[in-house]
Amino acid sequence: MIERTVTIASSVGLHARPAAVFAEAAAELDVEVTIAMEGEPVDEAMDAASILSLMSLGAACGDRVVLRAEGPGADEALVSLAAILETDLDA
């Protein structure tokens, strides 16, 4: 399993609009990706393609989250998703 820790850059955190952009990108991938707040147990990770799961994280600007994926293309998937989270989508 590949893991990547990312800092949320959107100025108001992972709320509706950034969550929707991120979830749509995650849903288009050929690998399943999970997301969790940094320090949370792996079994509490949520589906990264679910807007409701993303919003329930309560991730604010500057918070760190962990993305995880497994299988062919996992590394590339996490790079592309990390880039979304590291962009202020509210700017």
Pairwise CA distance, residues 50 & 35, whole Å: 10
- Which residues contact residue 26 at a Cβ distance below 8 angstroms, ignoring those fewer than 6 apart? 33, 48, 49, 81
Residue 15 a catalytic site member: yes
> Are the CB atoms for 72 and 31 separated by under 8 Å?
yes
The residue among 66, 67, 74 whose CA lies nearest residue 30 is: 74
Return the structure tokens found at 44: 């509490």
Active-site position among 11, 15, 46, 66 = 15
Q: Catalytic positions, please? A: 15
